A and B are shown apart, each in its own frame.
Chain A
C-alpha cells in the first residue's frame, strides 16, 4: 500500500531562500565556486545516470535501504507508544552522514576536484568524508575543533587510518563552528582543486538544498517502511537537531503529510535556563552565520555565543535555514533535551534493546520518551537513530562510571 502525500508542496522548496531564511552571505572570492557547485548540482539532479550511480553506491557500499527496528521494551518507558527506529546507525561508517558525503563526493568528481575538505564535530562527518576520499582516490583534510579532537579521539584515529589529515582548530571556541570557519578559509585559498564537503544542511546556497536532497532518502525509505509495517503513517517523526541534516533527512518525505507531527530535539546541555546549551531555535534569534540567514545563538551585538552539549555533533550555535523556516511556519516543533535526559535515554536503549546509540541520537530518543508519554499507547513514533555510539563509549563510560580504573592505560 502507498499513501499519497497531500499536494501542499512544502517539499518543493529549492532555495536559495526558505521563507526569509537561507541565501548566500559569503566572500566574493567563493561566489564563483558556489555558482559552479550550484550549476553542477542542477545538471546532476536532472541526470538519471547520477542517481543510478549514487543509488548503486548506497546499495553496495552504504548498506541501503537501512532497516526499521521496533523497540517494544524501550517503548514501555515511553507511555507504551509504538516506537520504530530508522537504523541509520547501521550504515557504513556508522551514521547518516555518509548519505550526504557520497552524493557530494560524486559531484566533486564531476567538477574535477581532487581534494576534499570538511569540518567535523563528533567526527562522524569527518570519518564519512575520509572514507569517500579513500574510495575515490582523493586527498582529504578535516578540520576539527581542538575540544572535539579530545572528546572524540577514536574518530580522529579513524580518519587518520583512512588516510586523511586531521587539523585541530585552536581558534575561537575550538569547536564545530570554528572548524567551519577554518574550512571556509582553506576553501578560499584552494578553491581551484578543492571541494568543501560541508556536513550539514547549513551554509550558503546550494549547500542547504543539496545536502537535504542527499539525506532525504532516509525519510523516503522510512515513510514506505512504516506504512508497510503498520498500514498507516506514523503520528510523529522525531530526530535530533545539530545543523539539522539527519532531521531534515527524515522529516522531508513527511512535510506534506499534515497529520504527521514533526519534532526536532536540540541539545539542551545543562538546561536552557543556563548559558550552557546548544538550543539554537529555542533560544536563538534570526541572523547571518556561516553564509546563510537562519536562527542562531548570539549576543545583542550579533556575536555568536558559545554553545555547549555533551554531544560534540550537536554542539553548534546555529541551525540550517530550512529548519528555521519550518519552525517559523509551525510545521515542525523544536524542543531542548538536556545532557542528563539524553544520557538516561542512551542507557535505556542499551539495556532494553541492545543498541548503543550515538549521544546525538540519544537526544531524539529522550524526546521520543516524553512524546510517547504525552501521545499514549495508540501512537506510532518514528525515530531517526542517526548514528551508533561506538565513538561515544569513552564519554558514556566516564559519565556512568563504568570504566575500570586504569583500563585505558
Chain B
C-alpha cells in the first residue's frame, strides 16, 4: 500500500479479524433505497446481524454498465422511488448507529464527480463510512480520488479482472486500501451456478504482486461457493443473491439467506 500517510483501514481490520476463528470474511452488497430507504437500512443491519463482516452499499445510477438484471432492476426501482445522493449518507449514518461493521459505498463515478469528489469524501467521513468501491474508475483515471482518499483516510477498493495485465494488477494492489475486489468471471453482476477457475488463478496472480487482502465477487450466491473461495481468498462478496432475497422475501428473507451464506465462512 502506498499513500501520503499510513492509515488504519477499518475494512482491513474487519477482514483481518475474521482470520482468528473463521476461513475469511463475508462481504454483502445491497443498494440504497431498495425497496425503500428505511427497508434498505433495516436489511443492511440484518446482514451484519447475521454474519456479514463488511457492508457494501450500492448507489443507484441511471447507467450501471457493470450490473446484471437483478441489481439493475433494484437500483432502477430505487431511482423511481425518488432516491437522492444524500440518502446514501443518511443510510450509512443510520446503519452505523445500529451496527459496527464498516460500510463501503459502491458507486459509479459520475455521481461523485457531480457532488464534488472532496465534498463527497468529507460527507462520507462525517456519516461514518469507510470508503468507496469504484466499478468504473480505475487507478490510472482516478488521480482526484487517490488524493481525496489520502486526505481523508478513506478506504479505496479498486477492481482486478481476469484480463488485467500483471502491471495493472500491481497498480490495483498498490493503490487499494481495504482489499482488492477480485472479479471472478468476465461479465456483469448476477448469480452463477458455477464459479470457474479464473478467480483462483487471479487471486494467485494478485498474491504474486503483493496483495494481502483479495476478496472475490460477481456470481457468488451459495455457502458452498463461499467456502470454496475462502480456501484461497480473504473474503467472498455476495450481491445479486441478497438483492433477490430482499426483493422476494423482504428483510426477514434476506436475514435468513445471510445466515446460511455465513455458514460458508466456517473453518
A binding-site residues for B, Cβ under 8 Å: 23-29, 31-33, 35, 171-172, 177-178, 181, 184-185, 188-192, 285, 287-291, 298, 300-304
Contact = CB atoms under 8 A, between A and B. Distances in A.
Given A25-B141, A28-B168, A303 B61 contact: yes
A27 B135 contact: yes
Contact of B62 (A27, A172, A191): A172
A155 B183 CA distance: 37
B141 A23 contact: yes
A217 B111 CA distance: 37
Interface of B: 61-66, 68-69, 72, 76, 79, 84-85, 109-115, 135-138, 140-141, 158-165, 168, 172, 183, 186-188
A197 to B, nearest CB: 17
Contacts of B61: 302-303
Contacts of A190: 186
A27 B79 contact: no
Query: Interface of chain A, helix or strand or loop or mixed?
Result: mixed
A36 B76 CA distance: 33
Contacts of A303: 61-62, 79, 111
Contacts of B140: 24
B138 A28 contact: yes
Most buried by B among A31, A185, A301: A301
Contact of A302 (B111, B136, B138, B186): B111
Nearest to A171: B72
A201 B185 CA distance: 29
B114 A287 contact: yes
A31 B138 contact: yes
A27 B168 contact: no
Contacts of B136: 25-27, 288, 291
B31 to A, nearest CB: 14
Contacts of B188: 185, 188-189
Given A32-B163, A181-B63, A25 B187 contact: no
6 contacts: A26-B138, A27-B136, A27-B161, A171-B72, A172-B63, A302-B114
Given A28-B160, A33-B163, A301 B138 contact: no
B187 A189 contact: yes
Contacts, number: 109
A287 B113 contact: yes
A24 B141 contact: yes
Nearest to A24: B141
Given A29-B186, A189-B187, A301 B163 contact: no
Contacts of A25: 109, 136-137, 141
Nearest to B68: A185
Contacts of A287: 110, 113-114
Contacts of A28: 138, 158-161, 164, 168, 172, 183
A302 B138 CA distance: 19
Contact of A31 (B63, B113, B164): B164
Contacts of B68: 185
B252 to A, nearest CB: 29
Contact of A301 (B114, B164, B165, B183): B114
A331 B75 CA distance: 40
Nearest 7 pairs between A and B by C-beta? A302-B114, A32-B163, A189-B187, A29-B161, A302-B111, A302-B110, A28-B159
B76 A288 contact: no
B163 A191 contact: yes
B161 A288 contact: no
- Identify which of A23, A32, A171, A185 gathers the most chain B CB atoms within 10 Å of its CB: A185
B262 to A, nearest CB: 28
Given A26-B136, A29-B161, A288 B110 contact: yes
A289 B72 CA distance: 17
B59 to A, nearest CB: 9
A347 to B, nearest CB: 36
A184 B87 CA distance: 28
Nearest to A23: B141
B108 to A, nearest CB: 8
Contacts of B160: 28
Given A302-B114, A303-B62, A189 B186 contact: yes
A177 B63 CA distance: 8
Q: Which of B61, B111, B160, B172 has the most CB of A within 10 A?
A: B111
A288 B113 contact: yes
